[in-house]
Structure 1
């Protein structure tokens, strides 16, 4: 996306751009660090980039800092992009390649580094994909992820509430005399521009994308409130601020309504502002900075050592006006593969060219064709061959992936992700995609139909959902998403035996598919086939050891089969993972209660006593029940 002429005039109006040589912060007091990320933010929704939407607070930050109107995200999805931002690693290295994956605890995050350097670390996030259960809370002493929950799936937190919560945390750090006990690192995440586009009253803009632009304007207002509140606590000159986005939004370009599926610039280009008044001068930089460069940049500015194996580079030379060559950007979307069984997309992007690796490869000369409409693959064989070779060898810095194949959260979390439109959310097949898969471009019609089917399913219009799923399956019987979600539609109607073959078909295609395995276990449990169900539940918890509900379901099947001891172990694992879940605690308590009865019948009175006391420990109400039970009252 090229900056408009108006933007260049705007920068010129700000004055002559003189760069200040900023030494590393080796002796000066360490600055506070404010990281602001906005979900789903296209650069052209900002006034300072395109002059088409009033965003005065973004504009002021851009005019006072070093502004990159075309930074590059490595992936058009919330959690993977933020993980790259916080680690300096590409998705292929941190292995968080879809929303719903869980960040590997062995990764080193920016928050962990700053915490170990004596910073107070806090985060306030506005979207469900960033909840602590997904692991990006590593290193934060305070992680506020209080996302509203409702049946209508408006699972986002209003921008104004985000600013209020962030300011409350900062104020809690100050002593009664107004001093900071230590420098702070605050990450503030605004989710509002994500679809559905529902701007607050007074913020809607005219035109076909007016609702989206209005959401961005409402975030701008919230950022203004945040900065006014911070200004009452600490001057700007003591705050190193970074403002950026995780990815953009397609808004119908290339046939994609939102983001996550393709790797065109409409969903990959994001704004980036580095703001530190008095330390370096304001400037507009056309450099293709990358989100993976944020952590290395902050570490160098703070005179801290880089993280070994980072994929990013420090942008300090650019910030202080020196010439810098930034490496090409590696980008990807695994959603076509993880969600549908089609070819995953990878691409490499230089300042001039972009090569997209797909069955029908694409090559775009970005300076002349910023909307990527003129595929030059047949006309520039040397360029495409060179970029293809770079893509095949790039970007290996650490040699091997740092993260493991990610675990997944519980089924409720997966359903919430689907309610937000992340249709592949939560799946993590580990097998390598075969080379003969369909090109996602050729399956766009099927994807749009599946989007309609999913919307119908979310609205409990089962007939409408099934009609669309069946249309896709008629021409593509191995479509992973249609198999899974049509099975779920049947499952929700209690049509268990009709659902089972669809899930089993999906498992034949993808034996490690966690949601299909979970669904088979659930169906077999409902059908009363307890022996088979126990085998499937054991496989589920082996694949997803942090999935508390699966452990509890295994316990239920084992308990119904009369296997009290292994059932108690399974229930205990569930409670250890989610200790505040009352249903899981009740299941564990009931199992221990039944175990006490079993042990008593076998004449093992002391063992029965221990089991009963353990039951009461996890579920105190069981004491009254036992007191009324002639068999157990004497054990109290």
Structure 2
């Protein structure tokens, strides 16, 4: 056994933006090590303390942190952060000589003999509430026939009041625990009247001296045998408060099908989708199929006739939908190209694969080399791979070209580029690649620039879609740029102006649909159509005045996020998926259908073996260092403006256009989804940390970042854009 030696304890402490300056004091196994001032500027700070060998123990060592401004409320493994000013980002123990600027792996790996895995929020919850302080928790209760809140009261120094608040503002007192009561004790409260709903749990510790300590806070679903036993006990006498048997059958509060919607588990099961049936080879006898991915840039699903729009904008896509698997609710993880394309190729959210801005003052962001790509997996298994790109935001400089044998950046050809690349350039190139005389299967990606702006219809399409118009609105680049920059006030556009812009965009969509038809014809002409999986989607949608926005990238509403997701599988009957689908599902689904090994730790799911749950939670982001964020869960969508910290709540089932903000009317649901958004962003940022740290290890890149003020003297102080996003999110949560 190694001898215990002096070591250094290093903590990375995150802070809320604009928090009050304070100090954090650290004790180790009960012995104080000292205190450190915190900047409270939204960024992480390093806290370092030497730990003598005599203070260390073999096995578990306990570290206690006391923050000056947050002594009243201290939490452990709760589902979200309450009004805390600081939080621990990572903690590691260094042997002599080990560098501080190489933090542990983001997945909870081992370093210097210290190991740890992040606890799952619903498994163990501890809460200390000081006298005179109220703590509030937003919970999603499961839709079950009986739901029970279980907690253990470890200590009560002043009366502790436990209440439940529903979205309509109605407050119900569940319990009042007196300091004279016997503690520790188990407390069970029936929450069945609120099953399937989002509620707020309030814990108020009355004025006085001391605190209340609670543990083992969980939401339980007793099984039928427990229910019958309970009924037998109640038939003879009131049963004393105690533990609910069958704890193993407990369901966490955050697994209900749809946030804020009542229902039964049977209803949820009956409404679930069916996954694509079985491995491809077992149904069709087809081995090692070709795969063709067609991305139509900025095609808004809600304006496509294949998805119910009145104008006949996409007849080719309509025909394809009749033969294919169609996702009724597909969305992009970002409302702009560079981030969404990275997700399509990796199966990871943009906040994880790291390409969220594209270009930075220090150079282009890149998907880390260690991240597997879809093309890379096909190439390693013997597929020939090729891509034809018409948008500069699909450039190989962002790490998207890895795994492609051919990566044709047509946008870089000055003879082809004219505010975009005409889709007529694509089908001949695809057909030539597919017709090359070899037996290897093909993986092809074609990125069609249409219907991306400028919305400049051909004469023939203008005659079909555009009615006479005498105003100044135009789909040309100059006019749209003036709208986006505020030089022209979007509010100044009238109904006729917006109708004209909608018509020129519809004509542009029809041109994209025509290109799709040309590509499918090229596939047929190559003789490979019967062995080819074809996926048609878009990288994001497009706004035409909705929510005062135009084009894409600056919002996370339906018009900018919702995309088509159409998968043609030879030999398979059409399937309609009703649950939420995302571009992150492309990579795992196509690899599975091709019979290849699945990638691990993805944000997307394999739709060939797993149907999307209707209550699936999807995170989305707009462009920028202070972007719009969105969280879609069931029929709710929460949006959060990182710049203004304004949030809005929409019921997208009853209000698909997202016009009625319900944040004030449904405060508990809003608080719950805001907390879920915090958790989703924190998870993504944490998983991305390892790749970011490796990138910062490049001395030249680090020097550039320091010169621009992005990095301090210590490299571990570097801030990623999404780390600042998380800090703003947590600051916005404080008001709850």
With the length of structure 1 as denominator, give the TM-score of the two structures. Answer: 0.57
Per-residue deviation, residues 340-380 of structure 1 (Å, max 9, x unmatched): xxx43222102300112231211101011111111111111
Specify the alignment match of 2:351 in structure 1: 92
Distance 2:275 2:633 in 1: 26
Contact 2:579 2:612 in 1 (8 A): no
**Helix, strand or coil: the match of 1:64?**
coil
Alpha carbons of 1:160 and 1:433: their partners in 2 closer, same or farther (altered >3 Å)? same
| Matched residue SS, 2:589 | helix
Tell me if structure 2 keeps the 8 A contact 1:159–1:191.
Answer: yes
- Describe the shift of the 1:231–1:151 C-alpha distance in structure 2 as closer, same or farther (beyond 3 A): closer
Residue aligning to 2:585: 293
Instruction: Tell me which of 356, 361, 371 is aligned to 1:107.
Output: 371
Alignment of 1:222-237 (within 5 A): 222-237=515-530
CA contact (8 A) 1:120 1:141 kept: yes
Counterpart among 381, 387, 390 of residue 673 in structure 2: 387
Shift of 1:229: 1.8
Structure 1 residues 187 and 435 mapped into 2: Cα distance closer, same or farther (>3 Å)?
A: closer
Instruction: Note the residue ranges of structure 1 that are not aligned, 5 or more in a row.
Output: 1-16, 338-342, 411-426, 441-636
SS of the residue corresponding to residue 197 of structure 1 reads coil
1:147 aligns to what SS in structure 2? helix
Structure 2 SS opposite 1:102? coil
Distance between the aligned counterparts of 2:330 and 2:555, measured in 1? Answer: 17
Match for residue 378 of structure 1?
664
Q: Counterparts of 1:148-547 in structure 2 under 5 Å?
A: 154-171=418-435, 173=436, 175=437, 180-204=438-462, 205-206=465-466, 207-208=499-500, 209-278=502-571, 280-317=572-609, 324-325=613-614, 327-335=616-624, 337=625, 343-358=626-641, 359-394=645-680, 396=683, 400-401=687-688, 403-404=691-692, 432=724
Q: Confirm or deny: 8 A CA contact 1:64 1:277 kept in the other structure.
A: no
Q: Secondary structure at the match of 1:286?
A: strand
Mapped partners of 2:541, 2:321: distance in 1: 18
- Which consecutive segments of 4 or more residues in structure 1 shift more than 4 A? 17-20, 148-153, 322-326, 405-408, 427-431, 433-437
Maintained 8 Å contact 1:236/1:276: no
Counterpart of 2:400 in 1: which secondary structure? Answer: coil
Deviation at 1:432, TM superposition (A): 2.6
CA distance in 2, matches of 1:315, 1:197: 34
Distance 2:460 2:541 in 1: 24
Cα distance in 2 for residues equivalent to 1:185 and 1:196: 30
Give 1 or 2: higher strand fraction: 2
Which sections of structure 2, spanning at least 5 residues, go unmatched? 1-272, 360-364, 467-498, 702-718
The alignment partner of 1:329 has SS state of strand
Instruction: Answer whether contact 2:276 2:607 (CA < 8 A) is retained.
Output: no
1:110 Cα deviation after fit: 0.1
Are the aligned partners of 2:346 and 2:373 in contact in 1 as well (CA < 8 Å)?
yes
Shift of the alpha carbon at 1:39? 0.6
Q: Deviations over 1:407-455 (max 9, x none)?
A: 99x9xxxxxxxxxxxxxxxx98687359679x99xxxxxxxxxxxxxxx
Q: 2:279 aligns with which of 20, 23, 26?
A: 23
Structure showing greater Rg: 2
Structure 1 partner of 2:297: 39
**Does 2:313 correspond to 1:57?**
no
The answer (yes or no) to whether the contact 2:431–2:526 under 8 Å persists in 1 is: no
Aligned residues of 1:88 and 1:294 also touching (Cα < 8 A): yes
Is the CA contact 1:377–1:384 (under 8 Å) kept in the aligned structure 2?
A: yes
Contact between 1:69 and 1:270, CA under 8 Å: does it hold in 2? no
Residues of 1 paired with 2:274 and 2:675: CA distance? 39
Residues 392 and 231 of structure 1, relative CA distance in 2, 3 Å threshold: same
Q: In 2 relative to 1, CA 353–249 (structure 1 residues): closer, same or farther, beyond 3 Å?
A: same
Contact 1:122 1:140 in 2 (8 A): yes
**Pair 1:44–1:334, CA change in 2 (3 A):** closer
1:104-157 per-position Cα deviation (integer Å, ceiling 9, x unaligned): 333211000000011000001111111223321110001111226669983421
Is 1:82 the counterpart of 2:327? The answer is no
1:541 is aligned to none
Q: Deviation digits for residues 591-619 of structure 1, max 9, x if unmatched?
A: xxxxxxxxxxxxxxxxxxxxxxxxxxxxx
Considering fraction of residues, name the structure with more helix.
Answer: 1
Q: Is the 8 A contact 1:347 1:355 kept in 2?
A: yes
In structure 2, distance between residues paired with 1:118 and 1:140: 12
- CA 1:18–1:237 in 2, change beyond 3 Å: closer, same or farther? farther
Q: For the structure 1 residues 37 and 250, does the alpha-carbon distance in structure 2 shift closer, same or farther, using more than 3 Å as the test?
A: same
Deviations 1:378-414 (Å, cap 9, x if unpaired)?
1112211221222122263795216438799x9xxxx
Three-state SS of the structure 1 residue aligned to 2:570 is coil
| Secondary structure in structure 1 of the residue aligned to 2:678 | helix
Deviation at 1:312, TM superposition (A): 0.9
SS of alignment partner, residue 650 of structure 2: strand
Deviations 1:153-205 (A, max 9, x none): 8342101112222222222x3x2xxxx42100000110121111112331232
Deviations 1:466-522 (A, max 9, x none): xxxxxxxxxxxxxxxxxxxxxxxxxxxxxxxxxxxxxxxxxxxxxxxxxxxxxxxxx
The answer as to whether partners of 2:387 and 2:446 remain within 8 angstroms in 1 is yes
SS at structure 2 position matched to 1:80? helix
Cα distance in 1, alignment partners of residues 386 and 415 from structure 2: 29
Tell me how far apart the structure 2 counterparts of residues 125 and 353 of structure 1 sit (CA, whole Å): 35
Conserved in 1, the CA contact under 8 Å of 2:286 and 2:531?
no
**How far has the Cα of 1:310 moved from its partner?**
0.6
